[in-house]
Amino acid sequence: KKPPLLISACLAGKNCRYDASSATLSCLAELREHYELIEVCPEQLGGLLTPRPCTELVKERVLTKDALDFTEQFLSGAKKALLIAQLQACNIALLMERSPSCGSHTVYDGTFSGTLIEGEGVFAHLLRQMGFAIYTAQTIEVLMKANTAWCESEPR
Ligand code: SF4
């Protein structure tokens, strides 16, 4: 049985980014061979449409450039996506970097000037609090190695 892996839906080919684009991983097929992918887009789960306004984290809030506040939708979507993962006993996630939801190491700085800073989005923050191991496109090789170790430790 393949282990479950929570994945940002845009990395898995879904056109769910704010501008209705995706960020499909080149190694998606290989990933599917090793993991049961659980694709979630927390922003869509929070009720936001696609396309939708670009948002950034500004202190504790998620705002558009015009200061529209989407924090509640982001929090609600993150909780729903977490529940989906928990129902499948999943505690590993592969998340899209830089997103105000899924970014786990880098996010935009809230000035809408394209400036990146260290930080994490609403969903990544919740997953980390819940003890998930979080990977990104930059650490997929580590994720694959973790999977091999998991397979080898399974009784035959
Ligand atoms: Fe991708 Fe996450 Fe943004 Fe949805 S919320 S588009 S899954 S980065």
State ipTM.
0.99
Q: Is the CB of 97 under 6 A from ligand 1?
A: no
Which atom of ligand 1 is found nearest the CA of 17? 6
Could you tell me the residue ranges of all domains in the chain? 4-151
Predicted TM-score (pTM) of this structure: 0.94
What is the distance between the alpha carbons of residues 153 and 156, in angstroms, rounded to a whole number?
A: 9
The per-residue pLDDT for range 119-131, each reduced to its tens digit, is: 999 999 999 999 9
* Locus of tokens 């845009």: 10
The per-residue pLDDT for range 63-89, each reduced to its tens digit, is: 999 999 999 999 999 999 999 999 999
* Locus of tokens 């990395």: 11
Centre of ligand 1 to C-alpha 155, Å, is 36
By the 8 A CB rule, do 59 and 71 touch? no
